[in-house]
Amino acid sequence: MKAQLRSHVAALFLLAPAAITFTALPSTVVAQPATPEVHALQVTSDRGLAPGSRLHFRLEGTPRAKASIRIRGAKSMIPLAETSRGVYVGRYVITRDDNIQEGDKIRAIMRRGNRTVTASYDIPQGLGNVASAPPAPPPPPPPLRIERFQASAVDRIEPGSEIRFTLMGVPGATASVNLPGVENDLALREVRPGQYEGTYVVRRRDTLDPNGPIVATLRMGDRTVNMNLAQPLVAADNRPPAITNLTPREGDTVAGGPPTVISASFRDRGGAGVDPNTVRILISGRNVTSDAQVTPDSFSYRAPLPPGRHTVDVTARDNAGNTVRRTWSFEVASGPANVPIQILSHVNNGQVDGSVTNVRGRTAPMAEVNVRVDAVPPLVGQFGVAQNVLSRTIQADANGNFEFSFTSPFPVPGTRYDVSMKARKADVTTEAKLVLYQRQG
């Protein structure tokens, strides 16, 4: 039987020189007169019988039984698990306390119910001489690469501007960004495997050049890889500027006689700014650009104008080539501007009903009207002193119409409402008074 076992071992050496696998035939069998049965045992060793060697067992026998292995010289019983019908597998790592030699007995034990079978095998000659398998070479390091490097574009580079960088590459590395004109590199943090992010806030002392090379570096050990930012750091300016703060405003009437000041502001928020050399100012069709004061932020022109309607036509272009045009008109009075106030809804000392009073009037087109309403109770000692119920500034429409409403804090018969109105336009101011009473009964 031992000769037959050695023949199996020799054949397996030819197939697997780094390990020994054998199928042993039982030398003695002691069993109860029925199942279970042991059919075959196969053992594999990765490093012979030295401490640290791993033994693998495959036992074939009766299904649905409990199987285990006992080796002479091993301190522990080795349980096997049934992985498929009638096939049981397990493994054992030889410890320094074990003393397993070639020729030692291996017992395969199977139990099913109250019946047990034991098959005895010998550890074959040559199993202990298997050379240790060389350690597997370490896996090659992953190729170091940057897949994507991008930044959030900003409208302009100025103190307080936040630039957010994102880099996609190999996980577990160290990432940074070099900004031209910034003293230290910006370190990026790995927020998820292979994705690195960081934000830089522009400082006053920085001389960051948005047109210079912005370089990302990914470092792992002594290996590095770089990538330049391909996109522009400053967002492309494709929005035209705006012309605001018009003087005189659309529809205004200004006094005749003294010189009229015509001005406006240029606003190019987030853009490259207005080029003063492109500003063109026409007053009633006449080019007055050379006589005006023009800056990147505004223009101003001052000159006497004849009475009548005048049109202002302004065009400009920002440094990115975006063009803007604004046209508006105003009136120059033949003399001092007239800003009358006419009450259309009530007569002076008239009576009103209810708790809400609506007042309508007319003045110069687009004039500002400052309104104040005070309520005076019929008996001051009973309700206290006069109380302000409305104080606001409203603007007349293009026809000069305006209106406002107020509510009395004590709508009792005899309450007096003192209404004060002050209209202003082109530095001319007109005041008017209106007194109303709460109707009796």
Are 92 and 78 within 8 A, CB to CB? yes
Query: What mean pLDDT comes out for the span 118-122?
Result: 86
Give the bridge partners for 43, in sequence order: 22, 57
Strand duo 350-352 + 428-438: pairing: parallel
Band of residue 15 on the pLDDT scale cut at 50, 70, 90: very low
Q: Which CATH superfamily is domain 146-228 in?
A: Immunoglobulins (2.60.40.10)
Residue 142 has pLDDT above 80, yes or no: no
Q: What is the pLDDT of residue 22?
A: 43
Are 51 and 132 within 8 A, CB to CB? no
DSSP-derived 3-state class of residue 128: helix
Residue 299 has pLDDT above 80, yes or no: yes
Domain boundaries, given as residue ranges, for the chain: 2-129, 146-228, 242-332, 342-438
Query: What mean pLDDT comes out for the span 63-84?
Result: 89
Give the bridge partners for 81, in sequence order: 89
Query: What mean pLDDT comes out for the span 311-318?
Result: 93
Q: What is the pLDDT of residue 134?
A: 58
Q: What is the pLDDT of residue 286?
A: 93
pTM: predicted TM-score of the whole model, two decimal places: 0.37
Residue 293 has pLDDT above 80, yes or no: yes
Report in angstroms the alpha-carbon separations of 331 from 105, 237, 399, 422. Answer: 120, 37, 13, 21
Q: What is the pLDDT of residue 335?
A: 62
Q: What is the pLDDT of residues 384-428, one digit of tens each?
A: 577 898 999 999 998 889 999 998 877 788 888 999 999 987 677
Given CATH 2.60.40.1220, say whether it is the number of domain 242-332.
yes
* Closest among 299, 307, 361 to 331, alpha carbons compared: 307
Band of residue 246 on the pLDDT scale cut at 50, 70, 90: very high
Residue 200 has pLDDT above 80, yes or no: yes
| CATH number, domain 2-129 | 2.60.40
Q: What is the pLDDT of residue 225?
A: 94
Looking at every residue in the chain, the average pLDDT score rounds to 83
Residue 159 CA to residue 152 CA, distance in Å, equals 16
Residue 413 CA to residue 415 CA, distance in Å, equals 6
Structure tokens at 319: 């440094």
Query: What mean pLDDT comes out for the span 328-357?
Result: 84
Q: What is the pLDDT of residues 152-199, one digit of tens each?
A: 888 778 888 899 999 999 999 999 999 988 888 999 999 999 999 999
Of 93-102, 212-221, 295-304, the one with minimum mean pLDDT is 93-102
Query: What mean pLDDT comes out for the span 70-98?
Result: 88
Q: What is the pLDDT of residues 347-373, one digit of tens each?
A: 999 898 877 899 999 998 888 999 999
Helices (H) and strands (E) in the chain, counts: 2, 33
E strands, 62-208, where? 66-71, 78-84, 87-93, 105-112, 115-122, 146-151, 162-169, 174-178, 186-192, 195-201
Higher pLDDT, 46 or 380: 46
Q: Do the domains 146-228 and 342-438 sit in the same CATH topology, yes or no? A: yes
Residue 18 has pLDDT above 50, yes or no: no
* Closest among 152, 151, 192 to 169, alpha carbons compared: 192
Q: What is the pLDDT of residue 168?
A: 94
Domain 342-438: which topology? Immunoglobulin-like (2.60.40)
Q: What is the pLDDT of residue 382?
A: 53
Of 80-89, 133-142, 311-320, 335-344, the one with minimum mean pLDDT is 133-142
In the chain, how long is the greatest CA-to-CA distance? 137
Q: What is the pLDDT of residue 53?
A: 85
Residue 1 has pLDDT above 50, yes or no: no
Query: What mean pLDDT comes out for the span 93-101?
Result: 85
Q: What is the pLDDT of residue 367?
A: 87
Q: Which of 5-14, 217-226, 336-345 has the highest mean pLDDT?
A: 217-226
Q: What is the pLDDT of residue 25?
A: 46
Q: Which of 229-238, 247-256, 318-327 has the highest mean pLDDT?
A: 318-327
Q: What is the pLDDT of residue 336?
A: 59
Q: What is the pLDDT of residue 237?
A: 72
Query: What mean pLDDT comes out for the span 239-267?
Result: 87
